[in-house]
Structure 1
Amino acid sequence: MPTLYVTAPPGAAATLARTLVDERLAACVNRVPCRSTYRWDGAVVADDPEEVLLVKTSDERVAEAEARILEAHPYDTPCVERFAPDAVADPFAAWIDEATSPE
């Protein structure tokens, strides 16, 4: 069961999370507020408010979820990283598969 790690501005994070779950591309999206420091266009941007999105999806839907994030995200270069855990509890894995199955 892969998890996508995504950062987004607070104003877009809720909509992005809801879209992924509504479209069954994610079973769940956890949103965690954070502050980011990064280099962009040659300058350091310090203390920018963002939200971390932990997108729980299935092996079958991960590519579609990633494509949808890139399409809907307001950033030119959004952070989208894929984590593939070595182990996931069986009941949780079954729930993710069920929740991301196309209707």
Structure 2
Amino acid sequence: MKRGTIFVIRVIGSSTLALCHLASGAADAYYQFGLHCWDLAAATVIIREAGGIVIDTSGGPLDLMSCRVIAAGTKEMAMFLAQEIQTIHYRRDDEN
């Protein structure tokens, strides 16, 4: 991927619906900060079963409790986003 190839950023209001659009092929990638584990759990399974990838915004494995996610149709796209976006740290879902 090279810089300057992003054409549209869509916000549809529902994180789970946006993630399912990715799984269906209607979107290439999705990233979000502040999503809770209950927002991610089911959609993560759907994306992975559809052949997509779900990772942490740092580029590492997804941690459902971290409240941050990148999902993409390919590993290349996911890693491109991980390098391009600045990670914002949220309070983890498993912290008091």
TM value normalised by structure 2: 0.28
- TM-score of the aligned structures, taking structure 1 as reference length: 0.27
Query: Bigger relative contact order, structure 1 or 2, given CA contacts below 8 A and separation 6+?
Result: 1
Larger radius of gyration: 1
In proportion to residue count, which structure has more helix?
2
Tell me which protein shows more strand as a share of its residues.
1
